């Protein structure tokens, strides 16, 4: 049974068959986070794009030991290897998939930007379609609503993790449209309630998701949810 834990903002912990995968770790300066970077004992770090609120604690977690693998687009993976001395990196690019010890990971499109914290070019922003224990989880990353989410639907994901915060990503209404297009039965909101500009009413959003015949899953920060 795979478990998904919201670490606050757009940070997620996925636990599956003895593997711990952290997506977009942003903890130390995240006012919504309850865990610190030294409590996150992950063996894989997945990064959707280069923005500070997605990569801030990646090096701290990846450098705990040399076996931890940092997975990101090629530019971000190279930046972590060169600037933060991360030893085990895997650079990917949009549309590519790899089989990792915990499951299959495909890098999907996102409409956003990706500059790294020091101003370096962070390649293209992306999302991840992660297949574990026979279930597919789509982490959209930071993105606007876009029509090619239809192609994600063809992959028949079981769970969709979507930003709902607005301002920097799609907001609640567009995320409901995205959820409908993607068709995953379980829809999980993220990238909201971290700071005042992205405060959202998750209960109202859940009603909209339910009205589409889908199941909203609104985790509390730090509380694992069984998803597969
Ligand atoms: Ni971003
Ligand atoms: Mn962001």
Residue 72 to residue 98: CA distance in whole angstroms: 12
Tokens standing for 176? 């409901």
Q: What is the pLDDT of residue 99?
A: 98
Quick check: pTM over 0.85?
A: yes
Ligand 2 centroid from CA 50, angstroms: 9
Mean pLDDT over the full length of the chain = 98
Average pLDDT over residues 56-71: 96
**Cα radius of gyration (the chain):** 16
Q: What is the pLDDT of residue 168?
A: 98
Question: pLDDT per residue over 140-192, tens digit each?
Answer: 999 999 999 999 999 999 999 999 999 999 999 999 999 999 999 999 999 99
Q: Is the pLDDT of residue 228 over 90?
A: no
**Residue percentage of the chain with pLDDT more than 90:** 99
Ligand 1 centroid from CA 113, angstroms: 6
Instruction: Tally helices (H) and strands (E) across the chain.
Output: 6, 14
Contact by Cβ (8 Å): 178, 162: yes
Q: What is the pLDDT of residue 165?
A: 98
Contact by Cβ (8 Å): 190, 8: no
Ligand 1 centroid from CA 111, angstroms: 10
Q: What residue spans of the chain are helical by DSSP H?
A: 52-55, 58-62, 74-83, 149-153, 172-182, 202-211
Q: Which ligand is nearest to the CA of 114?
A: 1
Residues surrounding ion ligand 1 at CB below 5 Å: 51, 142
Q: What is the pLDDT of residue 10?
A: 98
């Amino acid at each position: 049974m795979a478990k998904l834990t919201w670490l606050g903002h757009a940070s997620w912990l996925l636990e599956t068959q003895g593997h711990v995968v952290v997506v977009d770790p942003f903890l130390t300066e995240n006012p919504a986070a309850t865990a610190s970077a030294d409590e996150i004992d992950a063996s894989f770090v997945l990064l959707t794009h280069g923005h500070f609120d997605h990569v801030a604690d990646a090096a701290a977690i990846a450098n705990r030991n040399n076996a931890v693998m940092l997975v990101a687009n090629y530019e971000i993976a190279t930046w972590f290897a060169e600037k933060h001395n991360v030893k085990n990196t895997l650079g990917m690019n949009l549309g590519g998939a790899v089989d990792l010890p915990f499951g299959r990971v495909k890098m999907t499109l996102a409409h956003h930007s990706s500059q790294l914290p020091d101003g370096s070019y962070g390649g293209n922003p992306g999302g991840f379609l992660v297949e574990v224990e026979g279930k597919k989880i789509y982490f959209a990353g930071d993105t606007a609503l876009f029509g090619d989410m239809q192609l994600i639907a063809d992959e028949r994901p079981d769970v969709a993790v979507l930003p709902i915060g607005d301002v920097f990503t799609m907001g609640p209404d567009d995320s409901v449209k995205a959820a409908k297009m993607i068709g995953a039965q379980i829809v999980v909101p993220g990238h909201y309630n971290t700071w005042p500009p992205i405060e959202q009413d998750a209960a109202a959003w859940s009603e909209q998701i339910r009205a589409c015949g889908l199941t909203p899953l609104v985790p509390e920060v730090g509380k694992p949810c069984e998803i597969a």
